Structure 1
């Protein structure tokens, strides 16, 4: 309700804009009486382009109607009678309007709330500015644009007034001209009169004719001056229009597209499109008004030709204003929702295109159809250079035609492609070491429509962000690298789809941090220490000083073409493996600060040896993609008094799909403190799986437990019971008696103390234990007894 209270304080143009948001599609009374309820609902959780969300939207509609009906019933007394009837009527009206299309109600309310928030924010910023406080650059820019619109409105109103004066003057001129012709006709008819009367009448008529002709001569000169002055005023207005359009299209819209591109890497959502549409609609309205004025000037000139350069001036003005409106229409045909940039064949995908001036130019009166085709990088270059007028395709997209729909509640004209699928792709010859996951395509959307009763016909096209086409999920990792590099380092106005081969390391750090924070859904991104660790990995450097990497450049080959030294994977493949592991299984622990992650084995050793036995930390594996290991400090079983740092074989996504990290840590009683000194239960207890319930129908449920043999010892057996394990943290030296048969003794080294991991010489204890638990217990006992 706080937003509605602020919205009611708006004044002037802002108040008018706020009131214009409401109408038959959503009455302002509903907003007023249900303000608190409306603002408390999760409208943004509904995906408008997803038909599966219709049920959620239907529940919101039903709840809204029920809330209105409840509000109506609460009205009592003489004053409340009419309100009760009115609210009940609105409940029925909304039900009948949106029952078959509940997503449109959500679209409408989202648009209203976003617009109110924008208007309130702009009003707040303006008041702060008038109070002498500095406004941020965004508010200053918006204020500059709004001031320019006010200047254009006044200039357009002035030329309209001058045009009406010119029209009135010209009409009076024509009347006087007709009067002059009548006088001449009267003079010609005097020959039939007697001489005396003819002379008297001729003198009077000639005097009158001389007066009229003198007036016509002066007025013709005045009309010509009016016309020239008006054309100069129009020229000034066109200059202002072009300047304003350049600011909106070449700066604001380009910045929005850049934000949209960075959103593909996890950047902030590219909001603000409704603001851009409002500006573009104002431009369209002003341009169209000026164009109509210029055409009326042309009509007046044709109606009364006068000597002078007016025809040429008006012809140039007409051509200029047509160029301006053509640039506006073609530039505002945009992709609101981009297709996925990693596009898998035979997989459904969606996209939305929008014409920002469609509603203002009444394009929806004859809804245009939009077609989507996929084109290669070379074809995209040819299209932008106008070397190709027809749309060659590099593949076949199913369901690639869609009619643009007008949403009255939001005033948007858009086409929602909901069920496209790339059936096949035609690849070009690759260059050098380039792989299929480095080849870029783009989805071309095109349409044709007319405005002003077929007066102007527009053929519009727009290209999606680059897409990489894959045919198998195993290619997703490398395709994502291509997309991330392109999104992060593409320059505005580039030739498709050129990107630099090398970038500064801090630039890449910014892109990696953006990606990481987005996947974690948290403000906790990559710290400076994390980035130093990544720099050491990327450059095989041991320096711990961030300044040493600030001016270093990293190439695309170093990023995702060449394998890291001694490994069979690239820098990106390792990093992406970490991101996938964290996103799927460990996100809460990262956000809690429980995972250090970006620490190498030697750093972990130095950190842990200064802490008490049982202190542990979690770090990402250097040797395995998407692996995380537990390192802890304990005594050396072979040399009493000596302390070692142990590293458990890395866990992967497969392991955590069987048993969670928290439960695995809970199983290992020799792990006591999370580095530096936090009791492990304090950190992980809230994620432990609750104990299993008691036996049901005579069956006991089995339970998977993680065991590290070197750190376990058997408990005394209860009479008639099954042998059990107890973790032994005081001494890592464990002897397995021969009569202990649940877990056979193992001579292989399962833990790695201080030395580097060798995957060929180690084994995953947890997996082995889980495998044993799946075997029938009776068979193991019988084999031991035999």
Structure 2
């Protein structure tokens, strides 16, 4: 209800815009009397483009009608009688209007609430610090420019009416002059005396009229020239305003939409853009009609001078302006997926921001979608190709634009498209199929002004990478991320720099990571230094050393990391997938350090008490996380070592959670730096659950392999802990390990041993009750 209280305090144009949101489709009285209930409903949770959401929308409609009926029944007394009847009528009206299309009610109310919020925010115009923020200043400048244009258009309208009245009077006087001349011509039949008298009077009258016509003709010509100059100035203001809205605001919206593909903030503000574009369309059309009326007046009364050329130029200019507006405001509201898998359903929505204002919906246009290659997109933008040749076949690729009266939007919702096949071009050099870019082209044709102007409009989607198998998704996502992050506005399709500064890539990676974690905890300065070390095979811990370094596309996702069979991006994306699917709560809680290498882990843990552990991402395996901890060397009393478990992966966590696995390892006591593990992981288990997995506390009893000779480097072992910090066993599960289990690097061989988690999995496959009984006996 707080929003409605603020909305009622709007004034001037903002109040007028707020009132214009309501009508028969949704009466303002319903908003007023159900304000609290309306604002408490989860309207944004309904996906308008998903037919499966219709049941949810129907429940909201039924609840709204029931709430209105309840409110009506509460009205009593003489004063409440009329309100009771009115609210009951509105309940029946809304039920009748939206019962067959409940999603339209949701669309209507979402539009109203978002518009009210925008109007209130614009009216407030003050940030927390008391200073007007940049966005509000820019919006205020645009609104002031619209007011100037409105006044200028009104002034030319007034001047045009004066010109029309003056010209009509001029024509009347001109006709009077012709009548006098006709009378003079007819005097020859009169007697001389009478003829002379009448001739003198008529000639005097004709002289007076002709003198007035001569003066008035000059005045009319001046009026016309002055009016054309005013129109030229107005057209200049319109062009400037249109450039600001289309070349700055709309381009920024498209840029935000592109960054949203990398996890940036969702691109809002489209309704604001539509309101501006509609105002532009209205003003442009008014000025065009005025210029057309000027042309008509000039044809009606030709006068010597340059008016025909001036009006022809004005008409051409205003047509160019409206053409640019219409073609630029045919946009993609909801982009198709940028990684597009063949034989998979996908959706997209296109919208004409000026469709409602120009009454395009009176003859609803059809939109067609086709997929084109990068080369075909270049040719289309250079106007080298007027025929839209396809590079594949999209099923269900035709859709009629629908007008939604409640929101005033004209859009086409492609809900069930599917890419049946794709035709690839010859690849260049080392380029793989997941580096090849396509785009979905949407095109349509419609007319405005009673077929006065016909427009053929086209718009290209963001680049898409076509894959045929899920295994290609990782590399395709890399292509999309690089393009979204580093594409320049107005580029030739789809050119991106081959190299970028490292901080630029850091910004893109941080945006992606935060979006996938759904939290404000992104990549810290230390995390980014770790990533720089991995990308550049560097050992520097100084962030400043990387600020001016550049990273190439090849370093990002074409060349494998030294000694590995995967690229930098493949490693990073593996981390993101692991965290997103299984470890998000632990990251957001700060339990996972992650971006720490073995040497750093050793340096950090050696200063901590035995049993202190940390979680770090595996260097050797994609999407792996390992546990490192410090403990006594059982073969050398007094010596301490840092140990590392073999990495856990998505496959492991789909069977058993991280919290359970850590709980099983009794030798792990404190999460780095000094947090008791039970406080951290038991709390997270309570909050997020264990997906029904049985928890069994198991500790390991291992013999420790012989350490390195005196003076050597401590052995880093990818298996479980030293007995010196183990708690007493509940039951023995693991046999002692021999040196034969170690590989050449001192790590455990994955093929010859099993980590604690896998032992627990084996244990869980056995009949628990029988095993427990046998051990008790």
- Give the TM bin, normalised by the shorter chain: over 0.9
| CA spacing shift, 1:433–1:45, aligned 2, 3 Å | same
Contact 1:741-1:781 at 8 Å conserved across structures: no
State how far apart, in whole Å, the 2-side matches of 1:663 and 1:288 are.
68
SS of the residue corresponding to residue 566 of structure 1 reads: coil
Q: What is the SS of the residue equivalent to 1:727?
A: coil
- TM-aligned CA deviation for residue 751 of structure 1: 9.3
CA, structure 1 residues 305+745, in 2 after alignment: closer, same or farther (shift >3 Å)?
Answer: same
Q: 2:690, 2:613 → 1: CA distance?
A: 37
Write out per-residue CA displacement over residues 102-149 of structure 1, whole angstroms, 9 at most, x where no aligned residue.
Answer: 11111111111111111111111169xxxx953111111111111110
2:569 equivalent in structure 1: 572
Corresponding residue SS for 2:394: strand
**Using the alignment, how far apart are the partners of 2:225 and 2:732 within structure 1?**
107
CA contact (8 A) 1:180 1:212 kept: yes
SS in 1 for 2:393: strand
The answer to whether the 8 A contact 2:704-2:722 is kept is no
Asked if the contact 1:381–1:495 (Cα under 8 Å) also holds between the matched residues in 2, the reply is: yes
Whole-angstrom distance in 2 between the partners of 1:15 and 1:252:
24
Distance 1:563 1:697 in 2: 37
- Residues 156 and 237, structure 1, Cα contact 8 Å, conserved in 2: yes
Q: Secondary structure at the match of 1:760?
A: coil
- Structure 1 gaps of 5+ residues are 685-691
Q: Which residue of 2 aligns with 1:101?
A: 101
Q: Give the 3 Å change call, closer, same or farther, for CA 654–701 of structure 1 in structure 2.
A: closer
**2-structure distance, mates of 1:730, 1:273:** 57
Aligned mates of 1:429, 1:557 — CA distance in 2:
19
Which stretch of structure 1 is more off in the superposition, 52-61 or 745-754?
Answer: 745-754
**What are the ranges of 5 or more consecutive residues in structure 2 without an aligned counterpart?**
none
Q: Deviations over 1:385-418 (max 9, x none)?
A: 0000011000000000000000000000000000
- Corresponding residue of 1:688: none
Distance 1:727 1:73, change over 3 A: farther
1:705 to partner: Cα distance? 3.6
Equivalent pair of 1:723/1:742 in contact (CA under 8 Å)? no
Please say if residues 152 and 237 of structure 1, whose CA atoms lie closer than 8 Å, have aligned partners that are also in contact.
yes
Report the CA distance between 1:703 and its aligned residue.
4.4
In structure 2, the CA distance between the partners of 1:670 and 1:293, relative to structure 1 (3 Å rule), is same
Deviations, residues 721-746 of structure 1 (Å, cap 9, x unaligned): 99999999996169999998865555
Give the 3 Å change call, closer, same or farther, for CA 182–646 of structure 1 in structure 2.
Answer: same
Q: Deviations over 1:33-84 (max 9, x none)?
A: 1111111111111111111111221121111111111111111111111111
Could you report, residue by residue, the CA deviation over 1:446-479 in whole angstroms, capped at 9, with x for unpaired residues? 0000000000000000000000000000000000
CA contact (8 A) 2:742 2:749 kept: no
CA offsets 1:602-658 (integer angstroms, 9 cap, x no match): 111111111112211111111111011111122112222222222111111111111
| 1:287 aligned residue | 284
1:372-391 per-position Cα deviation (integer Å, ceiling 9, x unaligned): 00000000000000000011
Cα shift at 1:769: 3.8
How far apart in 1 are the matches of 2:543 and 2:477? Answer: 27
Contact kept? 1:626, 1:652, Cα under 8 Å: yes
1:266 Cα offset (Å): 0.2
User: CA 1:781–1:697 in 2, change beyond 3 Å: closer, same or farther?
Assistant: farther
Match of 2:73?
Answer: 73
Call closer, same or farther: CA 1:409–1:734 in 2, change over 3 Å. closer
Q: Is contact 2:595-2:616 (8 Å) kept?
A: yes
- Computed over aligned residues only, the root mean square deviation of the Cα atoms, in angstroms, reads 5.9
Q: 1:338 to 1:267 in 2, by over 3 A?
A: same
C-alpha contact 1:649 1:751 (8 A) present in aligned 2? no
Cα distance in 2 for residues equivalent to 1:610 and 1:699: 33
1:773 to partner: Cα distance: 4.0
Q: 1:277-302 deviations in whole A, cap 9, x for unaligned?
A: 00000000000000000000000001
The answer (yes or no) to whether the contact 2:257–2:267 under 8 Å persists in 1 is: yes
> Structure 2 CA distance, aligned partners of 1:340 and 1:772?
43
| Residues 565-607 of structure 1, C-alpha deviations (whole Å, 9 max, x = no match) | 1111000000000000000011111111111111111111111
| Conserved? CA contact 1:638–1:733, under 8 Å | no
- Alpha-carbon separation, structure 1, partners of 2:581 and 2:371: 32
What secondary structure, in the 3-state scheme, does the structure 1 residue paired with 2:685 have?
coil
1:765 is displaced (CA, Å) by: 3.3
- Report deviation, 1:774: 2.2
TM-score (norm 2): 0.93
194 and 343 in structure 1: CA distance in 2 versus 1, 3 angstrom threshold: same
| 1:460/1:123 CA distance change after superposition, 3 Å | same
- 133-142 vs 506-515, which deviates more? 133-142
| Partner SS, residue 721 of structure 1 | coil
SS of match in other structure, 1:780: helix
Relative distance call for 1:308 and 1:722 in structure 2 (3 A) is: closer
Structure 1 residue 184 displacement after superposition: 1.0
Deviation per CA, 1:319-353, whole angstroms, max 9, x where unpaired? Answer: 00000000000000000000000000000000000
Equivalent of residue 709 in structure 2, options 707, 718, 726? 718
Shift of residue 90, structure 1, vs aligned partner: 1.0
In the alignment, structure 1 residue 330 sits paired with structure 2 residue 324: no
Relative to structure 1, the CA distance from residue 724 to residue 449 in structure 2 (aligned partners, 3 Å threshold; closer, same or farther) is closer
Cα deviation for residue 356 of structure 1 reads 0.3
- 8 Å CA contact 2:667, 2:727 repeated in 1: no
Q: Compare 138-147 and 758-767 and name the one that shifted more.
A: 758-767
After superposition, the C-alpha distances for 1:506-529 in whole angstroms (9 at most, x for unaligned) are 000000000000000000000000
* SS at 1:582 equivalent: helix
Q: Secondary structure at the match of 1:507?
A: helix
Distance 1:722 1:641, change over 3 A: closer
- Residue 783 of structure 1 deviates from its aligned partner by 14
The yes-or-no answer on 1:604 pairing with 2:601 is yes
In 2, Cα distance between equivalents of 1:615 and 1:294: 81
Return the offset for 1:151: 0.6
Given the superposition, is the C-alpha separation of residues 151 and 475 from structure 1 closer, same or farther in structure 2, using an over 3 Å criterion? same
Q: Alpha carbons of 1:728 and 1:567: their partners in 2 closer, same or farther (altered >3 Å)?
A: closer
- Describe the shift of the 1:720–1:773 C-alpha distance in structure 2 as closer, same or farther (beyond 3 A): farther
8 Å contact 1:712–1:727 — kept in the other structure? no
Q: 1:306 to 1:126 in 2, by over 3 A?
A: farther
Name the CA distance, whole Å, in 2 between partners of 1:654 and 1:425: 33
In 2, Cα distance between equivalents of 1:779 and 1:39: 58
The Cα shift of 1:706 comes to 6.6
Taking a change above 3 Å as real, the CA distance of residues 252 and 722 of structure 1, as seen in their structure-2 partners, is closer
Whole-angstrom distance in 2 between the partners of 1:727 and 1:446: 58
How has the CA–CA distance of structure 1 residues 418 and 53 changed in structure 2, closer, same or farther, with 3 Å as cutoff? same
Q: Tell me the SS of whatever aligns to 2:412.
A: strand
Is contact 1:396–1:425 with CA below 8 Å preserved after alignment?
A: yes
- The match for 1:736 among 719, 722, 727 is 727
Q: CA deviation at 1:764?
A: 2.9
The alignment status of 1:594 with 2:591, answered yes or no, reads yes
TM-score, length basis structure 1: 0.92
Q: How far is the alpha carbon of 1:758 from its aligned partner?
A: 5.9
**CA distance, structure 1, for counterparts of residue 687 and residue 305 of structure 2:** 103
| Runs of 4 or more above 4 Å deviation | 692-704, 711-731, 733-746, 748-762, 775-786
| Structure 1 stretch displaced more, 276-285 or 752-761 | 752-761
